[in-house]
Amino acid sequence: MAITGRTDRTKFRHQVLNPLIEAGLVEMTLPDKPRSSKQKYRLTAAGRALLEQHARRQDETGV
């Protein structure tokens, strides 16, 4: 949330986190306990590939 500048957890979950999960780019570490206080999220292989592709494009364009 801090990286995106969001402060409202519910909006962040609905507008950012859930679409990333549905797209298969991010996954829950405890999928059977989505409301756990210990819940964390990690990039999937597809998420890492997309991030690497984005980084390569930035290197190529210098942006």
- The tens digit of pLDDT for each residue in 11-34 reads 999 999 999 999 999 999 999 999
DSSP 34-63: TT-TT--EEE-HHHHHHHHHHHHHHHHHT-
Closest CA to 41 of 25, 62, 61, 60: 25
Going by C-alpha positions, the residue among 58, 22, 28 that lies closest to residue 43 is 28
Determine if residue 46 is left, alpha or beta; phi over 0 gives left, psi from -120 to 50 gives alpha, anything else beta.
alpha
pLDDT of residue 52: 96
- When comparing pLDDT for 23 and 58, which is higher? 23
